[in-house]
Amino acid sequence: MTRSQETSTGSGIGWTPIAEEAERAARVLHPDANSMPRPTHRRVLTVANQKGGVGKTTSTVNLAAGLALHGVKTLVVDLDPQGNAGTALDVDHRSGTPSVYELLIGEVSLIEATQVSEQSPNLLCVPATIDLAGAEIELVSMASRESRLKEALSAEALDQLGVDYVFIDCPPSLGLLTVNAMVAAHEVLIPIQCEYYALEGLGQLLSNIELVQQHLNPALSVSTILLTMYDGRTKLADQVTQEVRKHFGDVVLKTVIPRSVKVSEAPGYGQTVLAYDPGSRGAMSYLDAAREVAERGATRGRR
């Protein structure tokens, strides 16, 4: 037993798993001593992977929550018609609510569409409603159809909100909504699950990113890859992890997100896992990943 384990309860009772989890939860919920650094410049990241079920929305909301809880003001833009990011952040996304749909077609401003999550005053969200489902068809006939989101997320509009990070949660497709997200962003964050089909379809995503770089947004880059759904009991998870790290190098975060029941349960309660069970392995892993993102942002060169 370590010294920290012996004293973790502070009452001579000794270390227990419950005491350790409580200590971890306290670090999440009382972060004053562990505040994260602000970036050298505002970072706008598109979270994209056309494969469904890889942890895009889960990673978006939990990374954003980790940053927000530790003093970094963060905006989540839900560009998925399913509206799951709004569910996890417990913001209103019923039909008729000012949302990303009205933002794209120019009916509302960014401030009018933005809500504050009850989980942190630093955590903001532009929700998606069911109205977004037909947006791709409507956008086809609009002027500047690929850059509607970029115009809505102008530097001036983001300055009014005072945010340091913007995470854009994409739908599981490579359609016009995802293209809008890539045109609006500086960086792409790709969640990759540690499973057999992890790299299937990744080539198509990277090709699309390259097309956007060539024709619409030369500043776009794949800055971050996050390994999700890691199951330490399987050799396959290690093989996938090694393969991804070998291919992408330092772009891959050191933190790996484990498979976790708590992470899966949290959205059902309208919460991120950091709010639902802050002492769980899933919460601590996302917190570590958020810290990595913050530390990288604090050392990146200014644009």
What is the tens place of the pLDDT at every residue in 53-84?
899 999 999 999 999 999 999 999 999 999 99
CA dihedral for 135, 137, 141, 147, sign (positive or negative): positive
Q: What DSSP character marks residue 301?
A: P
Rounded distance, CA 93 to CA 61, Å?
A: 15
Query: Which single residue is written with the structure tokens 């008729």?
Result: 96
Of 57, 94, 48, nearest to 76 (Cα)?
57
Instruction: Look at the pTM and tell me if it is higher than 0.75.
Output: yes
Low-confidence ranges of the chain (pLDDT < 50): 1-13, 302-303
Q: Contact at 8 Å (CB) between 274 and 66?
A: yes
> If you count DSSP H runs as helices and E runs as strands, how many of each does the chain have, helices first?
15, 8
Of 209, 224, 223, 133, nearest to 174 (Cα)?
209
Rounded distance, CA 228 to CA 139, Å?
A: 32
40: its two tokens: 């050298």
Produce one character per residue of 267-301: b if its CB has 16 or more CB atoms within 10 Å, e if not. Answer: beebbbbbbbbbbbbbbbbbbbbbbbbbebbeeee
Give the 3-state secondary structure percentages of the chain, helix then strand then coil, rounded to 5.
50, 15, 35
Read off φ and ψ for residue 88, nearest 5 degrees: -65, -30
Rounded distance, CA 95 to CA 102, Å?
A: 11
Rounded distance, CA 4 to CA 10, Å?
A: 10
Q: Contact at 8 Å (CB) between 70 and 31?
A: yes
Q: Would you mind telling me the total number of residues written for the chain in this entry?
A: 303
Of 206, 192, 189, nearest to 292 (Cα)?
189
What is the separation, in whole angstroms, between the first and last Cα of the chain? 48
CB neighbour list of residue 269: distance below 8 Å, 6 or more residues apart: 276
